Structure formats: C-alpha cells, structure tokens
Structure 1
C-alpha cells in the first residue's frame, strides 16, 4: 500500500498561556496521498493556516507527529529539514512577498540563488517556468509594475522553480478579482492534474474548495465530518 506523501497524527498547537491561551489545533489527524488535491476549509481563526504551516514544516506542533513521505519530521536536523522542505515543497501565499524593485526573473530564481545555484542555470530554469506560466515576456519587468494576477503567477513560478512534489497555497486568490482568480485556480489545477503535483490549499471560499478532490473542514482546531470530504 503506497505511503502517504503527508500524514499527521494527533497534532496540537497552543499559543499563549493562562487567560491568553489559545488552542489552535486540538488533535488533528489526516493523510494526503501523492497527486491528490485537498482543500482545508474553515473560517478565520479555525486553525486552518496553523495546520498548513505545520504540514509544510514551517512550524512545529505542540504535540503529535508529521510524516513526510514516510519520514518522521522530528528525526530531521535543521539542515536536513531545510533541504527536505526546499526540495519537496512549493509555497503560494495570498501576500505575494515579491521584491518590487527586482525583475520578475530575479524574483522567480531567488530560491535557486539562496541554494547556491549558478547564474546561468538560474536563468535557464527561471525562464523555463516563466514560459510555462506564459510570463516569459515579463522576465525583465520590475515585479512592482505587474498586475495582481501577474504577481500571483510570478509567485507560482517561484514556487515551481525547484520542481516541488507538493504545492501549498494559502488563500491563493484572496487578493484577486473573480476573473483573474479563476485563471490562477486553473493554473494550480493544471499543475495537479497534468503534472502530478500534490495540491493543498487553505481557503474559506467554498466555491474554490468545491473544485478539489477532497475537502477537509476545520472548526475550532478540530476536523469535522460534514459528509462532503470527497468530491462527487
């Protein structure tokens, strides 16, 4: 039986102490198979972003375990943890986190520069993902001069630069108008269905969630059974 690409067991996470204590997660368990598309759905404060950050190894749980492709994240040192996260995962966030004064190509290739990849290879790989997202003609443009939809496509290109196996997206269309948001959604689902990338998205948008193979609903730090986990 295939090993899930991501598995969580009894995840807990607490912030603050005493009267300020907030239990963001209260024992969440789940499995996500390679190539799946999963929407984690919940209102603001439900724990959905905390859950995604822990699954993406951007945060550590207070209790419980996360396994990535069968490996217990707790067994990884700082360097091995960073290497696993940087090679397996890509990230698309609602806030673009682009350097507005740098070119589109420089923004896209930044993860490779951090990893010590040479300038020629950075350009080759950067242009390849920009071609994939129909942004090659914007390679020399300053990122700050792009539209919202173009910026989000640049963010997706940057997330793809290391050929990730899992793409995490946190409210990826939250800052976009409906038409532009639909274009970005189509790009993400194409990466999932035609390129085999596992897609995990956090959203409060039920229309967006309906497009996923699976929907996991979270409320007050707990996954709830709505009878709608799998798409029809």
Structure 2
C-alpha cells in the first residue's frame, strides 16, 4: 500500500488550564490514504470536529504529530501554511458560510481571490465549477435567493475551484431535506470515485457514514473503532 496522505500520531488537543482544562482529543492515531472516503462519527462533544479541524490544518494539536505526505505540518507557518491549506483542501460545511448579498459566482471564486489568482482565471474556473454542479444559470443570482440544495451545491463548487486533493465535509446534509441531501451525497461520492478526491466526512448520520470506504468512531476523545466497510 502507498504511504498515507495524512498520518496522525498520538495527537492530543486540550483547551483551558488547571481545573478548567478540557481534553478534546486524548491520543489519536490514524492514517488516511489518497482517494479514500472516510467517515468520522461520534456524538456531540466526542472530539470528531476537533479532529477534522486539526486534519485540515485549521488548528494545531497540543501534542503529537500530523504529517501531510510525510511532512510534519508543524514545519508549516504563515504563508506556507495558508498556501498549503488553500491548494490542498476544500471545505463543505453544514452552515454554508455564503455571503448572502453577493453573487453565486463571487462566493465560488473566493478561495482563488485569497490565493491571488487573476480575475479572468477566477471567472473561468468559477464558471466551470458551477457548470459541473449544474448551477451556471445561477451565477449572477445573489446567494440569499438560492434554495438549501442550491446553496450546498454552491459550497461544493467553491470547494472545487482550487482543484483540492481533499474535501472535508462537516455534516454536509444536516440542513437539507432527505431528497436534496441524497443529491448532495451523490455529488460528493462522485467527486471521490471519479476524480480521486479524498473525502473526509464528519457526521452523525449512520447511513451517510455507511457509504464511505472506512468509518472511524470517536468517543470521549479516543478512537474506539476504525473499520473498513464492505464494498
């Protein structure tokens, strides 16, 4: 088997000090390979969202190491960290995080704007992503005028514009009805299987987790199971 894309070794994350200290992760180790689909499941407060934030380099562990393609991510600082995060990862969140009064296209191209990509290239790639998600006709619409499913597809388009190798999805269907949620799920798994994008999903939804290649169950800051699911 190839070397892991992400490798987590004895990672711990604590908040506060003394009597107010809370140990969100208490020694987590796991490997994730390029092209996998992985579900991280657990109850609220289990540590699953904390783990996702650490994997996505949005936060740093209190102790332990996270390696990205064999490179200890503690060596990444400032612009190098931001560039790595922006180029490597795409994010799909339950809350959408769209700017309501700007256009769908403007929302989609934001990661490229942050990356310093020129206006013409931003528009070209943004429209290509919207075409892929069947939203090109909504490009000029304000985000506030979209349905829930359209908003989530816009978020997926935004996640794709920098050609990420990993998409993190935090409860991606949590705000959607079951039919719309099923469409969004299909889009994410198509991206995983047809384009080789690694998919890491944080969810309470056992049915969604069962669609992944692997399910990692966290309880009280510890991994209690890490199982490959039958194809």
> Which of these residues, 223, 227, 230, is aligned with residue 229 of structure 1?
227
Q: Deviations over 1:144-191 (max 9, x none)?
A: 100011000000000001000000010100111111101000000000
- Which residue of structure 2 lines up, in the alignment, with residue 49 of structure 1? 49
How many angstroms does 1:108 deviate by? 0.2
How many angstroms does 1:195 deviate by? 0.5
Q: Is residue 2:140 matched to residue 1:120?
A: no
Q: Is residue 2:10 matched to residue 1:10?
A: yes
- Matches of 1:121 and 1:111, distance apart in 2: 12
How many angstroms does 1:218 deviate by? 0.2
- Which residue of structure 1 lines up, in the alignment, with residue 166 of structure 2? 166
Q: Deviations over 1:43-83 (max 9, x none)?
A: 00000000000000000000000001111101112111111
- Which residue of structure 2 lines up, in the alignment, with residue 98 of structure 1? 98
- Matches of 1:59 and 1:145, distance apart in 2: 33
- Which residue of structure 2 lines up, in the alignment, with residue 76 of structure 1? 76
Is the partner of 2:92 in helix, strand or coil?
strand
Q: Deviations over 1:82-109 (max 9, x none)?
A: 1111101001111111011110001000
> Where do residues 1-232 of structure 1 align in structure 2 (5 Å cutoff)?
1-225=1-225, 229-232=227-230
Is the partner of 2:162 in helix, strand or coil?
coil
How many angstroms does 1:17 deviate by? 2.1
Is the partner of 1:95 in helix, strand or coil?
coil
Equivalent pair of 2:83/2:115 in contact (CA under 8 Å): no
- Matches of 1:231 and 1:2, distance apart in 2: 19
- Matches of 1:182 and 1:19, distance apart in 2: 44
Q: Structure 2: where are the runs of 5+ without partners? A: none
Is the partner of 2:227 in helix, strand or coil?
coil
Q: Deviations over 1:185-225 (max 9, x none)?
A: 00000000000000000011111100000000000000002
Equivalent pair of 2:25/2:221 in contact (CA under 8 Å): yes
How many angstroms does 1:18 deviate by? 2.6
What's the TM-score once normalised by structure 2's chain length? 0.98
Is the partner of 2:65 in helix, strand or coil?
strand
- Matches of 1:140 and 1:161, distance apart in 2: 17
- Matches of 1:69 and 1:102, distance apart in 2: 37
What's the TM-score once normalised by structure 1's chain length? 0.97
- Matches of 2:133 and 2:174, distance apart in 1: 20
Equivalent pair of 2:41/2:209 in contact (CA under 8 Å): yes
Q: Structure 1: where are the runs of 5+ without partners? A: none
